[in-house]
Chain A
Amino acid sequence: MVYSSLLFIYGFFPLSIMIYYIFRRKFPNGVLLILSMIFCGIISVYFLMFMILYTAVNFAACNFIEKKRSSKSVSGIIFYSAVIFDIAAIFTFRTDFFSGFKELIYVPDGFFPIGISFFTLSAVGTLIDVYFGRLKAEKNIVKFGLYIMFFPRLLMGPVLRYSSFIKMLKNRRDGLNEIGIGFTVFVKGLAKKVIAADSLYMLYSAVHGIDIENMTALTAWIGITAYLLCLYFTLSGFSDMGIGIGYCFGFRFPQSFNYPLFSTKIRYFTTRWHIQIIQWFRRYITKPLSSRFNNKIIKKLIFIAVWGLFGFWYTFSINGVVWGAIIGSAVTIENHFSNEKILNITGIIYTFLAVVIASVFLSGSDLSYSLKYLLVMLGGNRAFADSLSFYFIKSYIVILLISVYAATSLFRNLMIRSGRTWIRNAVVIVSPAIVMAFMIICTIMISYSGSSEMILLRL
């Protein structure tokens, strides 16, 4: 069950809101944990059992680390064992190296613990914080269980530090107002996924299906741009849906994407793309490693390597590493020339180009294919465009223009700058109708299959 399915939107979501508001006074956290467990159980009972075991192991490890803090070796063994357990789990399910082990633990065919990339980071981050004494181990299994498997952040995060999550848990403000905001954000995310990402995926997969030897440069550019926009709308769409659902239960999760694609510098792109994940890598890997070295070149190499690791987290393949290393290197080079003044539009163009070129590696199945694709983009097939390129442009021009506009912050800036003028008031007045209209359009678009499950990267 994904958020973008009829089962969730017209089944689990309204029922969970109803159940929460009935029981929130007596069991404010318990009801959310039970709803989250039901959510996991509907996906599959095996997934629920996996999540219970995963939560129990990490909860026990945190408490044992705290209990045995006086003995550094014992707490160290527990800490490293738990981290290895978490990392082994993600490697087991995100790679094909452990198929024998999967058989041993009776993993059903096609089983994938959705969201494992996110809750692994949450769990490992908490273990590190507890081990280094920055955080007291949680004694309440309900709160810890919610931190790992709270269903609005299960599929695509955001990855939060435990202390931040607990603050939100304590200070949540729920009610009709929050449900309204929640639905607005949820529908925004749903529209990103169902209207933009799914259409762009059709374009990307159409281009991807063409034999690379016969592809023209323009077609290759169209395909990779579609991929990048599709990736952005898929990730930020699911993230917005999660934030919206969280709002309905009183949680104000931070947004994961802040219009990164059309940033004026690559550096800004890196601070606006998957914000909490990048923060996690910076907090738990870049900073501790960099602090050990004074040499600037080593610090820069660490920065690039951690970006490579971030890319690996996306794909669990060398292609992801190359994607991350390109972005990391581009930021390093850009910082070197940071004193040079350039026009915003120049910055937007070179940032977008750098991100598009890096995306060739994120989208490719292997390095040689990505390099070939890159060559085609540069005119390697000696064909700039053909009738197919123009067919794609003609067929997808509307959705491409809408997507590019939606990926910029133009509308948000218009709203902010308009202050209390009639534009802002008019948008506020018609907002319920707009939300309803987008909900209807999204329902129309998933009415045949009942869900929109394309996630591009299995995270």
Chain B
Amino acid sequence: MKNTASKVTAIVMLAFVSFFLVFTIIGHKTNSSSYEQDSSEHITELSFETLIDGRFSDTLNTLITRNFPARNSWIAANSAFQAQFNESIVNGVYVDEKMLLNAEISLRPSSEKSAQEIKKFRSLYSGAMYFVAVPTSSGVYEEYLPKYLLSNPESRQINTFYNSLGADIRQIDAYNILKMLNENYIYYRNDTKWTSYGAYCVYRTVIQKLGFIPIAYDKYTIEHVTNEFRGTLYSKTLYSGVKPDMIDSYKFSSGAEIAECIGFDNNGQAQKQTICDKKRLDSGNKYDFYAGGELPLLKISTSVNNERKILVIKDSFGDCFLPFLVQHYSEIAVVSPENLECSLSELINTEDYEQMLFIFGIDSISDSSNFEKLNL
């Protein structure tokens, strides 16, 4: 009987692994989640060097992993399994019943180098410079995380960064504003970023510092453009136990409007762009609704007649902040350093703008490459 069982095991297991081998090779991959965009970084060309040093082996493993049949179902099952039998941390994401949180916040590199780059950039600019360092959901909802994950909490990371930045750059305390309001829907449940409402809460303080009176909340018409947004934390776990998120569009119907929105690529080529474009909700990443595109520079002209101009330098946290600025400035220039591959001076003269506002999540702040690009 034992021999028969062994033979059955052999046939079943060989059939099982062969099935997945064949379908991994011939299967067609149609899904493109943000995880796959991340993992494309590990893809290297087949060359003598990559074969010698083993990088091609990593690539081969990545390719097989990415093309593995029904991979999303396997990952989702993993999250459910881990949440049941282990600590609820899946691929670096803490799975809480209410929301997903980045569990690796304490592992971020120091922001000292970023601060030095920003100070260098500051020394070449004569206008007023403001910085909003935005915590991620793990900073504002840190009480959900087990204590041992908070050896270097985001509040401390932001303080350290602000201390390194010096007094010449006006710092805006977004952390405490958001922390006070954390019973509201100010962060996505499936992503690390703030919601439009979170951005609005900080906007009220920021715009006063910039010299304007904020637009009252009840003046806006809020449209839920989608309630199916799943962000980067979801992509890492595919855990469906947390509700999908809403993306909101804030419109001030009796206020100023966008007259023109022009994007510029790294060669300075102009192309017409839009912000808050519903068409982009059909793309892989619904958050692209706010600004979208992968252009380094966006110039927004508004119907405001005050000749005030602002240069916003931002990461993705800045995207849902932009609509609020439209009511106050006649021109808003938006620079995304992650898409910048040329010298900033080739695209724009910073001295044309009397104010400069940095809006960055603490994740991007710890990556100095974002700021090195500004000094090229």
Residues of A within 8 A of B (CB): 1, 5-7, 9-11, 13-15, 17, 42-47, 108-111, 176-184, 187, 199, 202-203, 206-207, 209-211, 387-388, 391-392, 395-396, 398-399, 425, 428-429, 431-432, 435-436, 439, 441, 443-445, 447-451
28 contacts between A and B (CB under 8 A): A5-B61, A6-B64, A14-B21, A46-B53, A108-B54, A109-B53, A110-B54, A111-B54, A176-B7, A179-B14, A180-B5, A180-B8, A203-B87, A206-B148, A209-B151, A395-B88, A396-B86, A396-B87, A398-B85, A425-B1, A428-B2, A431-B5, A431-B9, A443-B74, A447-B65, A447-B71, A448-B75, A450-B62
Query: In the assembled complex, which residues on chain A have CB atoms less than 8 Å from the CB atom of B86?
Result: 199, 202, 395-396, 398-399
Q: With contacts A7-B57, A183-B9 known, what are 12 further pairs, Cβ within 8 A?
A: A1-B61, A10-B20, A180-B9, A184-B6, A184-B9, A432-B5, A432-B9, A435-B9, A435-B12, A439-B16, A441-B81, A444-B81
Instruction: Tell me, rounded to whole Å, the shortest Cβ–Cβ distance linking B364 to chain A.
Output: 24
Contact of B54 with A206 in the complex, beta carbons under 8 Å: no
Query: In the assembled complex, which residues on chain B have CB atoms less than 8 Å from the CB atom of A391?
Result: 146-147
Contact of B14 with A17 in the complex, beta carbons under 8 Å: yes
Contact of B10 with A448 in the complex, beta carbons under 8 Å: no
Q: Is B89 an interface residue (CB 8 A)?
A: yes
Instruction: Tell me, rounded to whole Å, the shortest Cβ–Cβ distance linking A357 to chain B.
Output: 23
Per-residue CB proximity of B201-242 to A under 8 Å, as 1/0?
000000000000000000000000000000000001000000
Instruction: Tell me, rounded to whole Å, the shortest Cβ–Cβ distance linking A84 to chain B.
Output: 27
Highest count of chain A CB atoms <10 Å: which of B13, B75, B85, B90: B13
Contact of A448 with B6 in the complex, beta carbons under 8 Å: no
Per-residue CB proximity of B353-370 to A under 8 Å, as 1/0?
000000000000000000
Q: Is B301 an interface residue (CB 8 A)?
A: no
Highest count of chain A CB atoms <10 Å: which of B54, B64, B77, B91: B54
Pairs A-B, 10 closest by C-beta atoms: A450-B65, A44-B54, A180-B6, A108-B53, A447-B74, A180-B10, A180-B9, A395-B87, A179-B10, A183-B13
Query: In the assembled complex, which residues on chain B have CB atoms less than 8 Å from the CB atom of A388?
Result: 146-148
Known A10-B68, A398-B85; judge A44-B10 contact (CB<8 A). no
Q: Chain B interface secondary structure, helix, strand, loop or mixed?
A: helix
Contact of B3 with A177 in the complex, beta carbons under 8 Å: yes
Q: Is B52 an interface residue (CB 8 A)?
A: yes
Chain A, Cβ-Cβ closest to B84: A398
Query: In the assembled complex, which residues on chain B have CB atoms less than 8 Å from the CB atom of A392?
Result: 87
Known A1-B61, A177-B10, A445-B81; judge A15-B236 contact (CB<8 A). no
Query: In the assembled complex, which residues on chain A have CB atoms less than 8 Å from the CB atom of B12?
Result: 432, 435-436
Known A441-B81, A448-B78; judge A176-B16 contact (CB<8 A). no
Contact partner, B91, options A182, A183, A396, A448, Cβ 8 Å? A448
Q: Is B51 an interface residue (CB 8 A)?
A: yes
Contact partner, B236, options A110, A210, A448, Cβ 8 Å? A448
Assembled-state Cα–Cα distance A443/B8 (Å): 20
Contact of A387 with B6 in the complex, beta carbons under 8 Å: no
Chain B, Cβ-Cβ closest to A394: B87
Report B29-68 residues with CB < 8 Å from chain A CB: 35, 51-54, 57, 60-62, 64-65, 68
Assembled-state Cα–Cα distance A42/B59 (Å): 11
Contact of B81 with A439 in the complex, beta carbons under 8 Å: no
Known A183-B9, A184-B6, A428-B2; judge A450-B64 contact (CB<8 A). yes
Query: In the assembled complex, which residues on chain B have CB atoms less than 8 Å from the CB atom of A184?
Result: 6, 9
Known A14-B17, A395-B88; judge A444-B8 contact (CB<8 A). no
Query: In the assembled complex, which residues on chain B have CB atoms less than 8 Å from the CB atom of A7?
Result: 57, 60-61, 64-65
Query: In the assembled complex, which residues on chain B have CB atoms less than 8 Å from the CB atom of A448?
Result: 35, 75, 78, 90-91, 236
Chain A, Cβ-Cβ closest to B24: A10
Query: In the assembled complex, which residues on chain A have CB atoms less than 8 Å from the CB atom of B62?
Result: 450
Known A14-B21, A43-B54, A44-B54; judge A450-B13 contact (CB<8 A). no
Query: In the assembled complex, which residues on chain B have CB atoms less than 8 Å from the CB atom of A443?
Result: 74
Q: Is B124 an interface residue (CB 8 A)?
A: no
Contact of B57 with A1 in the complex, beta carbons under 8 Å: yes
Contact of B6 with A46 in the complex, beta carbons under 8 Å: no
Q: Is B180 an interface residue (CB 8 A)?
A: no
Chain A, Cβ-Cβ closest to B81: A444
Chain A, Cβ-Cβ closest to B35: A448
Query: In the assembled complex, which residues on chain B have CB atoms less than 8 Å from the CB atom of A429?
Result: 1, 5
Highest count of chain B CB atoms <10 Å: which of A44, A109, A449: A44
Query: In the assembled complex, which residues on chain A have CB atoms less than 8 Å from the CB atom of B91?
Result: 448-449
Contact partner, B87, options A109, A206, A436, Cβ 8 Å? A206
Assembled-state Cα–Cα distance A399/B87 (Å): 10
Highest count of chain A CB atoms <10 Å: which of B18, B35, B86, B236: B86
Instruction: Tell me, rounded to whole Å, the shortest Cβ–Cβ distance linking A424 to chain B.
Output: 9
Q: Is B11 an interface residue (CB 8 A)?
A: yes
Assembled-state Cα–Cα distance A445/B18 (Å): 19
Known A179-B10, A429-B1; judge A6-B54 contact (CB<8 A). no
Query: In the assembled complex, which residues on chain B have CB atoms less than 8 Å from the CB atom of A396?
Result: 86-87
Known A14-B14, A45-B52; judge A447-B68 contact (CB<8 A). yes
Assembled-state Cα–Cα distance A5/B57 (Å): 12
Contact of B1 with A176 in the complex, beta carbons under 8 Å: no
Contact partner, A428, options B1, B54, B74, B89, Cβ 8 Å? B1
Contact of A202 with B89 in the complex, beta carbons under 8 Å: yes
Assembled-state Cα–Cα distance A348/B24 (Å): 47
Contact of A211 with B52 in the complex, beta carbons under 8 Å: no
